[in-house]
């Protein structure tokens, strides 16, 4: 299913459907959207004021499966124009193809330069939604028969600088036990003081999940972790600007809570000196961003103009002064095979790994190796959030997941998952549970 590749389908996944395994896909509809955020989504990596993407609708035998393609390059996906080109390719090639064969092909999305994981996630979500509806089961049961019916979630409150005691109290009263805050946007001393103030308003058992988005150098992170050890911190994501393996291992040994990797799982080799021997982890190596653009533009069936694929930005290290080599590398596959992990937790976004099946396999492999795993969203529409929640239910983790994000959108494309007492109950809808705006619930009682 990768544009330009002539891969052949292998035998279909036996869980595909209870009906005819040769069900043919009739068509793929693409609807571009722009959804404004209620407030800017800010982090050390930048600020977003809206989410843009495409709603996918896959049609077969009177049923529809839905997916959401909402690229976010800073989180590890392709660029918007690359996703659009992949969707155009599939829109032309999917009709008339067996649903089972398509499902088998998207289970192994390509990676590396030119990959389009957000587009693959969207297509697989639509295919799996359709297959689960044909099978008459919720998507989570199609993924894993032992799946849970609910998902614990954290409150996603935004930046630390925007928080007040009243907001903290309100989130706790709503039933959340874990409150996620973006840090690294202000002076470290001021942020520690603010966290201490907010912590005095937490009830017993409530904790703070912090995300620095790579804001700090090694020395800053080490000093801050010493001070965070005195606070009710549940975890700290992406503390380092340059996430070198040995530096992370030292910080994790120092921290009384899990450190977590998220965006770093999608970086190529970061060949920088060990902080203990070179003392330059704060600066990091200079990187060149390279991209290619050629060929005519493409047009979606909906009329949206899409530029040609140019390939994702690639970070190319200038040098390897200490010869660190492969042991300083991510991405995730290398981390899972290396042993002796440098952190305790991994944060997985299905849209950055190319789909539900791949993310499920990675999450299970990571859990078997002793990692904690948390799934989070890209602040997608409800069409993307529902499949991710079904995936989280298939994992059945007791750790609150980062999927209570629908309230950040001023409006949505359909029925949104509503948290209650820090949990999202998924119901027994067939498929993912997403129902487009304006359509009746097909599973509602008469």
pLDDT at 21: 60
| pLDDT classification of 442: cutoffs 50, 70, 90 | confident
Q: What residues are paired with 30 via a beta bridge?
A: 56
Rounded distance between C-alpha atoms, residue 346 and residue 405, angstroms:
19
User: Which pLDDT belongs to residue 311?
Assistant: 39
Task: With beta carbons less than 8 A apart as the criterion, state whether 139 and 433 touch.
Answer: yes
- How does residue 2 score in pLDDT terms, banded at 50, 70 and 90? very low
pTM of the model: 0.83
Contact 12, 98 (CB under 8 A): yes
DSSP single-letter state for residue 73:
G
Does residue 17 or residue 181 have the better pLDDT?
A: 181
**Residue 241 burial (10 A CB sphere; 0-12, 13-18, 19+):** buried
What Å distances lie between residue 242 and 171, 257, 272, CA to CA? 33, 20, 8
Distance of alpha carbon 144 from alpha carbon 150, whole angstroms: 14
8 Å CB contact between 107 and 123: no
At 20 the pLDDT is: 53
- Of the given ranges (104-108, 210-214, 380-384), which has the lowest mean pLDDT? 104-108
Q: Which residue has the higher pLDDT, 282 or 334?
A: 334
For the segment 110-136, the average pLDDT, to the nearest whole number, is 94
The Cα–Cα gap between 164 and 148 comes to 34
Neighbouring CB atoms inside 10 A of 248's CB total 21
The dihedral through the CA atoms of 100, 332, 54, 211 has a sign that is positive
pLDDT at residue 26 tops 90: yes
For all residues of the chain together, what is the average pLDDT? 83
Average pLDDT over residues 120-144: 98
Distance of CA 148 to the CA centre of its chain: 20
CA distance 371 to 111: 23
Looking at residue 341, its pLDDT comes to 83
| pLDDT cut 70: percent of the chain above it | 79
Give the lowest-confidence range in 38-52, 94-108, 237-251, 341-355.
38-52
Do residues 219 and 276 touch, judged by C-beta distance below 8 A? no
Q: What's the confidence (pLDDT) of residue 428?
A: 95
Give the tokens for residue 68: 């959401």
193: helix, strand or coil? helix
Averaged pLDDT for residues 17-22: 55
Average pLDDT rounded to a whole number, residues 100-110: 92
pLDDT score of 112: 78
Q: Convert the pLDDT of each residue in 42-95 to its tens digit.
A: 877 778 899 999 999 999 999 999 999 999 998 989 999 999 999 999 999 999
User: In the predicted model, what is the mean pLDDT of residues 136-157?
Assistant: 97
Rounded Cα distance between 55 and 437, Å, is 12
Closest CA to 134 of 437, 439, 438, 430: 430
Instruction: Tell how far CA 138 is from the center of its chain.
Output: 21
CA angle 117, 120, 125 (to 5 degrees): 125
d(C-alpha 214, C-alpha 233), whole Å: 18
Q: What percent of the chain has pLDDT over 90?
A: 69
Q: Is residue 301 scored above 70 in pLDDT?
A: no
| Domain architecture of the chain: domains with CATH | 27-140 (3.30.390.10), 142-285+313-425 (3.20.20.120)
């Amino acid at each position: 299913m990768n544009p330009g590749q002539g891969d052949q389908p292998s035998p279909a996944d036996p869980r595909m459907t209870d009906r005819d395994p040769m069900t043919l896909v009739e068509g793929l509809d693409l609807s571009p959207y722009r959804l404004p955020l209620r407030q800017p989504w800010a982090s050390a990596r930048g600020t977003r004021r809206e989410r843009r993407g495409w709603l996918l609708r896959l049609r077969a035998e009177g049923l529809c499966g839905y997916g959401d393609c909402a690229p976010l390059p800073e989180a590890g996906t392709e660029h918007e124009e690359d996703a659009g080109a992949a969707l155009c390719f599939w829109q032309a090639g999917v009709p008339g193809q067996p649903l089972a064969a398509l499902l088998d092909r998207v289970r192994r999305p390509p990676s590396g330069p030119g990959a389009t994981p957000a587009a693959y996630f969207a297509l697989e979500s639509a295919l799996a939604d359709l297959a689960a509806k044909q099978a008459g089961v919720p998507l989570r049961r199609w993924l894993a028969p032992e799946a849970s019916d609910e998902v614990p979630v954290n409150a996603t409150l935004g930046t630390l600088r925007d928080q007040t005691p009243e907001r903290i109290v309100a989130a706790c009263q709503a039933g959340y036990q874990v409150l996620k805050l973006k840090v690294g946007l202000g002076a470290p001393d001021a942020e520690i003081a603010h966290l201490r103030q907010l912590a005095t308003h937490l009830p017993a058992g409530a904790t703070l999940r912090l995300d620095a988005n790579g804001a700090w150098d090694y020395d800053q992170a080490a000093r801050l972790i010493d001070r965070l050890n005195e606070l009710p911190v549940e975890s700290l994501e992406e503390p380092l600007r340059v996430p070198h393996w040995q530096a992370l291992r030292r910080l994790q040994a120092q921290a009384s809570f899990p450190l977590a990797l998220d965006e770093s799982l999608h970086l190529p080799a970061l060949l920088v000196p060990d902080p203990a021997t070179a003392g330059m982890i704060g600066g990091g190596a200079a990187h060149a961003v390279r991209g290619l653009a050629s060929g005519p533009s493409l047009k979606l069936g909906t009329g949206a103009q899409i530029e040609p694929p140019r390939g994702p930005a690639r970070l190319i290290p200038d040098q390897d002064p200490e010869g660190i080599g492969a042991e300083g590398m991510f991405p995730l596959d290398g981390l899972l095979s290396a042993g002796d992990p440098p952190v305790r937790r991994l944060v997985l976004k299905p849209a950055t790994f190319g789909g539900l099946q791949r993310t499920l396999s990675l999450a299970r492999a990571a859990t078997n190796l002793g990692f904690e795993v948390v799934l989070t969203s890209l602040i997608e529409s409800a069409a993307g959030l529902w499949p991710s929640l079904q995936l989280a239910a298939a994992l059945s983790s007791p750790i609150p997941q980062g999927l209570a994000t629908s309230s950040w959108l001023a409006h949505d494309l359909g029925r949104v998952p509503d948290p209650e007492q820090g949990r999202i109950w998924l119901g027994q809808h067939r498929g993912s549970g997403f129902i487009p705006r304006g359509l009746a619930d097909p599973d509602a009682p008469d």
